[in-house]
């Protein structure tokens, strides 16, 4: 029996598709913005640095954050619905991360509202807690490996940043690598959900 037949419906199917959006939207648009930004080094600088200048690259970086944030928030709703629980901790973590990304697209770097007071840090817990909340054993089995990988990568990135061990001059590259890994989980979730229903 397919996963959607057990715990989902057409609404769930539609919400899960939001998982396809964050990785290509954020990485693609922010990379393009970086190429277009004058005097910007995407290897050395975070995407948010582009929000300090009132340019087309700034606008494109904002669109990247907004697209990723909205889709992550919607994806969180999908996880909640598929959990079948009154409260889904994993879904709430995704939604908080979505809110943080949305605020990245509204307020420039330097404002405490940019990232909404660092609330996006909860994204590290989102994959593992989502896996625990899922009602479908089949889907949990399919997502076990990617969940371990993404969770460990998230903790590694946080550890490197907090200890200062992140190589100097490569913060932009590390953000893109580890950010892409984090956004990979919703994408793999959406793919495995579809495969479970075919």
Q: Where are the domains of the chain?
A: 3-196
pLDDT tens-digit profile of 82-103? 999 999 999 999 999 999 999 9
Q: What angle do CA 176, 73, 48 make, to 5 degrees?
A: 35
Q: Answer whether residue 139 shows pLDDT above 80.
A: yes
pLDDT attached to residue 198? 73
User: In angstroms, how far apart are the furthest CA atoms of the chain?
Assistant: 55
Q: Answer whether residue 77 shows pLDDT above 70.
A: yes
Q: Please indicate whether residue 9 or residue 107 has the higher confidence score (pLDDT).
A: 107
With contact defined as beta carbons under 8 Å apart, do 57 and 37 qualify?
A: yes
pLDDT attached to residue 93? 98
Task: Compute the average pLDDT of residues 150-175.
Answer: 95
Q: Answer whether residue 4 shows pLDDT above 50.
A: no
Determine the Cα–Cα distance for residues 79 and 92; give it in Å rounded to an integer.
9
pLDDT tens-digit profile of 6-63? 445 889 999 999 999 999 999 999 999 999 999 999 999 999 999 999 999 999 999 9
Q: What is the DSSP letter of 45?
A: S
Q: Answer whether residue 105 shows pLDDT above 90.
A: yes
Q: Find tokens 């100097």 and name the residue.
A: 168
Q: Reduce the DSSP state of residue 166 to 3 states and report it.
A: coil
With contact defined as beta carbons under 8 Å apart, do 61 and 48 qualify?
A: yes
CA dist list (Å): 93 to 44, 53, 99, 123, 161: 29, 31, 10, 6, 21
pLDDT attached to residue 106? 97
Q: What is the DSSP letter of 185?
A: H
CA dist list (Å): 182 to 21, 29, 121, 133: 13, 17, 11, 18
């Amino acid at each position: 029996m397919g996963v959607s037949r057990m715990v989902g419906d057409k609404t769930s199917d539609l919400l899960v598709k939001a998982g396809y959006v964050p990785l290509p939207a954020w990485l693609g648009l922010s990379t393009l913005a970086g190429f277009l930004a004058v005097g910007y080094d995407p290897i050395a600088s975070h995407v948010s640095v582009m929000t300090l200048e009132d340019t087309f690259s700034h606008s494109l970086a904002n669109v990247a954050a907004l697209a990723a944030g909205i889709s992550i928030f919607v994806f969180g709703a999908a996880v909640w619905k598929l959990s079948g629980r009154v409260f889904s901790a994993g879904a709430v973590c995704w939604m908080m991360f979505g809110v943080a990304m949305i605020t990245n697209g509204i307020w420039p770097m330097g404002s405490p509202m940019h990232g909404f007071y660092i609330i996006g840090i909860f994204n590290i817990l989102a994959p593992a807690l989502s896996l625990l909340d899922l009602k479908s054993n089949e889907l949990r089995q399919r997502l076990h490996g990617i969940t371990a990988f993404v969770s460990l990568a998230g903790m590694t990135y946080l550890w490197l940043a907090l200890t200062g061990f992140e190589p100097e001059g490569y913060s932009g590259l590390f953000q893109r690598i580890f950010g892409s890994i984090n956004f990979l989980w919703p994408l793999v979730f959406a793919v495995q959900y579809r495969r479970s229903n075919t």
